[in-house]
Amino acid sequence: MARGRKPLPPDASRRSDLLRAAARLFVEKGFDATTTRDIAEAVGMRAGSPFYHFRSKQELLKAAMIGGLEAGAERLRAACADIADPEARLRAMVRAHLGNLLENECPAPMLLGETRALEAADRAEIAAAFDRYQHPWQTTLDALAASGKLASSAPPVRLLLFGMLNWTPQWYRSDGPLTLDQLAAACVELLLGQPPDRSVSG
């Protein structure tokens, strides 16, 4: 009952070390191709020790996904909290989401593809966390549609947008010709139509 006074007793830091290492490896090599030995080695433990902190490999995946999604959702909220204009707001959200995907060491959204490694009950929890992540997007898209900047904000639009963004890790290289800000701008431009000062000729 009266447990857990201290916010981060030294043990919890090792636990989150494991989570970070696992998330990184799962993204790099995939869930199945990552062994619990890999994860242990990545944090300087022996093969069996992670099982002191987590009951199973699946539990590690689940915790990494939910934790990463919540952290990402928090960054997303912070990035667009006080932006009223829907277009600027969308730009900020796209940029924040790309950041979550591409410049974070634990890109949780990329783990979504590994959900099939989990059981139905766990999948439901993941789905709930992902819904919380998606919610602010629909709000913003609705606002854009209402102001006429977007033709429609029906569900497929949000899903297509997510696809556009979530696929970027397949091809984007941070040492390439495109900064994340430029990429975010390109996305929004593609969605909303013309670039800043161009009018359709025809």
Partner DNA sequence: TAATTAACCAATCACTTGCTTGCTTAATTA
Partner DNA sequence: TAATTAAGCAAGCAAGTGATTGGTTAATTA
Site of interaction with DNA (CB under 7 A): 9-12, 14, 34-37, 40, 44-49, 51-53, 55-58
Q: 40 touches which of DNA, its own copies, none (CB within 5 to 8 A by kind)? A: DNA
Indicate which single residue of 88, 105, 156, 181 sits in contact with its own copies (rule: CB under 8 A): 156
Q: Which residues of 126-160 are buried (b: 16+ CB within 10 A; e: fewer)?
A: beebbeebeebbeebbbbbbeeeebeebeeebbee
Q: Which residue has the tokens 């007793």?
A: 9
What CA–CA distances, in Å, run from 179 to 10, 68, 70, 99, 109? 38, 23, 25, 11, 20
* Shortest CB 40 distance to its own copies, Å: 19
Read off the amino acid at residue 59.
E
A 10 A CB-CB count for 161 gives 20
Which CB sits closer to its own copies, 139 or 152? 152
Packed helices 120-146 and 86-102: angle between N→C axes, nearest 10 degrees = 150
Indicate which single residue of 7, 9, 194, 197 sits in contact with its own copies (rule: CB under 8 A): 194
The yes or no reply on residue 128 touching its own copies (CB under 8 A) is no
Build a one-symbol-per-residue string for 96-125: x at contacts with its own copies by CB under 8 A, - elsewhere: ----------------xx--xx--------
- In the three-class reduction of DSSP (H, G, I as helix; E, B as strand; rest coil), residue 165 is classed as helix
Which CB sits closer to its own copies, 81 or 160? 160
> From CA 141, how far away is CA 154, in angstroms rounded?
9
Which CB sits closer to DNA, 116 or 198? 116
Which CB sits closer to its own copies, 43 or 178? 178
* Shortest CB 9 distance to its own copies, Å: 36
Q: 39: buried, middle or exposed (CB in 10 Å: 19+, 13-18, 0-12)?
A: buried
Q: 165 touches which of its own copies, DNA, none (CB within 5 to 8 A by kind)? A: its own copies
The yes or no reply on residue 173 touching its own copies (CB under 8 A) is no
| CA-closest candidate to residue 26, choices 99, 102, 109, 103 | 109
The yes or no reply on residue 171 touching its own copies (CB under 8 A) is yes
- Contacts with its own copies by CB under 8 A lie at 29-30, 32-33, 112-113, 116-117, 147-149, 151-152, 154, 156-157, 159-168, 170-171, 178, 183, 186-187, 189-191, 193-195, 198, 200-202
